[in-house]
Every structure is written in structure tokens, then in C-alpha cells.
Amino acid sequence: MEKSKVVLCRCEEYSEAEKAVFRMLGELDAALPERDKKILLKPNLLTKASPEKAVTTHPDVFSAVGKYLQGKGFSDICYGDSPGTHFMGTLQIAKSCGIHDAAEGLGIPLADFEGGEEVAYPEGQSAKSFIICNAVREADAIVNVCKMKTHMLERMTGAQKNLFGIVYGFNKGATHVKYPNSVAFAKALADLNNMYPPVLHVMDGIDAMEGNGPSGGTVKHMGWLLASRDPVALDTVACLIMDLDPALVPTNTYGEAFGVGNTNADKISITVLDGESREEMTCAEVRARYAVSDFDVYRGAADKGKIKHLAPFEPLLKKKPVIDKEKCVGCGICVESCPAEKKAVNFKNGKRIPEYDYKLCIRCFCCQEMCPKHAISAKVSPLARFIDRNWKI
């Protein structure tokens, strides 16, 4: 079986992104479609944030990929994403994070992400249909330009998770309700990646996000760009430099199980471009040389499996969203973002700060993702930490 190739390119500054992207994609020799096909550039436009916050794809990386495609003869290129909140449209968010100006500079228009239709996918192993944005259905191919970040539900978000942005607006919440935990959601994402597989994936890991990601974490300089035709392999290599076991990430496990790509180290080849050097390396060698051990990501295994005699305590093992009352301004975006039919977070008895009913909470962390003040974080229980440390499940 042919190995999945991942290119890992050292890039310390965004001013160097164009040179690095051209070198990296030239090395990958990406299998692009015919030049008359319509290409959709899919950045991460999660929410309104300036580029230096590392919430969204940096405009210099987006611009570099756009220039590369134009240099290869593609003229029908558009861009867009369905953001995580319905409070702001794609255009407003694209302007805030610099993507709009970068796209205008290249003459790349914003595509239609303001509407969508249900598309059946009978081949899906978990999900049989999705509400897909108009622009996606009109495009011939997708080029995925994602961001390296932590994620409270799936531990990390990269190439596979970024494709969730082709699901239209409000239906993201409905998808979280239908697939309410990390495993179920990862399976749905695997079906989505099989349904609309991008032809190329580029990850912005120059400045990544650690900690309370994907929107409320802190910036971590990593100094890497990554590219592959295989999103699972790409996310796997990103995990290696985060010093995170790829097997702990459900999107990797089920991405491979559902045939999206490879997470098995024996099925991945890595070309490392570091300065003037070019080396072929294994997954183990990349982790040994480049892993950032102090990267703040949840590495515990307490939610990886179940122990029968601890079943009554299962709710205590789950991470849960918690509001920092000092940071909360009572805007109510967390309440609006909660996809549960009976809101798991709400204002009670006229209080200024919302409160959770954890019996209703599905742990999708939509509230945490959308909080503009980063006042919500994921809390891991002392019991879960004890089990991780002492029982090694």
C-alpha cells in the first residue's frame, strides 16, 4: 500500500510563508485537478479575531496558497467558510482576520456560504446526510487551509475538523446534538471528509493555539507549515510536534477506520524541510527531534475507554465547560450557541452570569468555542486526573 506523504516545512515568520508554501507544495507535487475547474479555498474562519490571535488561518498563509494555485494556471478560485456563530457572517469575520484583504489582493471572491441544502450520503458509515453550503456544492475541488489548534472536544483541530465549516450555519449545532461526544462526532467528520474530500491540505502551524482552544487559548509559536493530500496523516504529524499521542485523537482513529487516510506510523512518510536541509523521516524520528513537550494540550487517557465498575462515576470522568465569572460579561452568546433543545446553559433567576445544567450538557463545547471573552474553559475532574496518573487506561 502506498504511504501517505506529509511535508513538514520550517517557517519561523509569516513574512516567509510564501517562499515556504511554494517550496513545500513543490515538494509534495500535489495532484491538482484540470486548470479549468473551480477551486474553493477553505480557510479556518471560526470567529472574529485578529490574525495574531491564532484563532483563524493567517492571511499570509492563505495568500501564499492562493498565489501558488494561480501560478499553476487556476483562474476560477473562490474562498469561504461557514463560521461557528450565526451572530456574524463570513464577510465580517474574513475582514476581521485579514483574509478578506488577502483575497481581494489576489482577485479571489468570497463564495456563497449564506445558504445550504441537504445532501444525501448513503455511503456514510455514521452520517447519511449533511446540510452543505451552496459554495461547496458549486465547486469542483476544495483546497483546505487549516490552523493548528487545540480543541476541547477532540483534543486538537486541524485538517479534518476544518472541513466542518462546509456544513451550513445553524446545522452545525444540530450535528453536535446528533453526534454528541468525541467519538460520535469524529465518525461524522470522517464521513464528511469522505463525502467532500479536498484535493490538498495545508496547515498553518507557524503560530498555533494551545490550551483553551479552538478560540480561547493562547498563542504558541511552533514555526511550521505542513501539507499533504491525506488529512489524517497531516493531523497525525501535527500531533507529533504537539507531543500528543495521535491515537488519543478520535478524528485520527476513525479517520483511518473509515478510510479517509492513514494514522498508522508505518503508512506515513514525512519529508522535513528545515533551513537548507531536506530529510526523509519516520514519525518516531519527527517526534523525537521536534516535539514541543510543553505544548499545552490534554494528554490524559481517562476518556479513551470505559471501566465497567466505574460506570456510575462516568459523568465525573468527563470534561465539562466552566464559566470564569471574572471574565464573563453576560453577553449570552454561550446561551445562543448551545445546540441542545433544552439549553444546558442559561440565565437563571435574573442572574447576570449564565449557569450550567450539566444533566442537559452534551459536552460539545460550542459555548466555549464561541465565547468572545474566552470566559469558558474545559474542566477535567480530579477523579479523571487520578485515573490517568495511576491506572493508565
Q: What is the pLDDT of residues 240-280, one digit of tens each?
A: 999 999 999 999 999 999 999 999 999 999 999 999 999 99
Question: How high is the mean pLDDT of the chain?
Answer: 91
How confident is the model at residue 100, as a pLDDT?
98
How confident is the model at residue 30, as a pLDDT?
66
How confident is the model at residue 393, as a pLDDT?
37
Question: Is the separation of the CB atoms in 270 and 281 below 8 Å?
Answer: yes
For β-strands 376-379 and 355-356, DSSP reports them as: unpaired
Number of separate domains in the chain: 2
Cell of 139: 465547486
3-state secondary structure of 68: helix
Range(s) of the domain holding residue 340: 308-390
* Residue 341 DSSP label: S
Are 338 and 229 members of one domain?
no
**Whole-Å CA distances, 45 to 198, 243, 364, 370:** 17, 26, 19, 12
Task: Specify the CATH number for the domain of residue 188.
Answer: 3.40.50.11440
Q: How many percent of the chain have pLDDT more than 70?
A: 91
Are 82 and 200 members of one domain?
yes
pLDDT-based confidence at residue 306 (cuts at 50, 70, 90): very low
Helices (H), the chain: 17-28, 59-71, 90-96, 99-106, 134-138, 159-162, 171-178, 182-195, 231-241, 250-257, 283-290, 314-317, 333-337, 366-370, 382-390
On whether residue 105 sits in a domain, the answer given is: yes
Helix (DSSP H) and strand (DSSP E) numbers for the chain: 15, 15
Task: Specify the CATH number for the domain of residue 317.
Answer: 3.30.70.20
Are 166 and 196 members of one domain?
yes
Are 128 and 206 members of one domain?
yes
Q: How far apart are CA 148 and CA 61, in angstroms?
A: 12
For β-strands 4-10 and 116-120, DSSP reports them as: unpaired
User: Residues 102-124: what's their mean pLDDT?
Assistant: 97
Are 317 and 177 members of one domain?
no
pTM for this one? 0.88
Are 47 and 158 members of one domain?
yes
Query: 393 or 228: which carries more pLDDT confidence?
Result: 228
Are 281 and 312 members of one domain?
no
Buried b or exposed e, range 239-260, using 16+ CB within 10 angstroms = bbbbebebebbbbbbbbbebeb
How confident is the model at residue 316, as a pLDDT?
59
The yes-or-no verdict on residue 391 having pLDDT over 80 is no
Are 324 and 254 members of one domain?
no
Are 75 and 202 members of one domain?
yes
pLDDT-based confidence at residue 176 (cuts at 50, 70, 90): confident
- pLDDT tens-digit series, residues 347-390: 998 899 999 999 999 888 999 988 999 999 988 777 666 555 55
pLDDT-based confidence at residue 169 (cuts at 50, 70, 90): confident
Q: Which of 290, 318, 337 is the last residue of a domain?
A: 290
Cell of 65: 496558497
Are 174 and 28 members of one domain?
yes
Are 254 and 315 members of one domain?
no
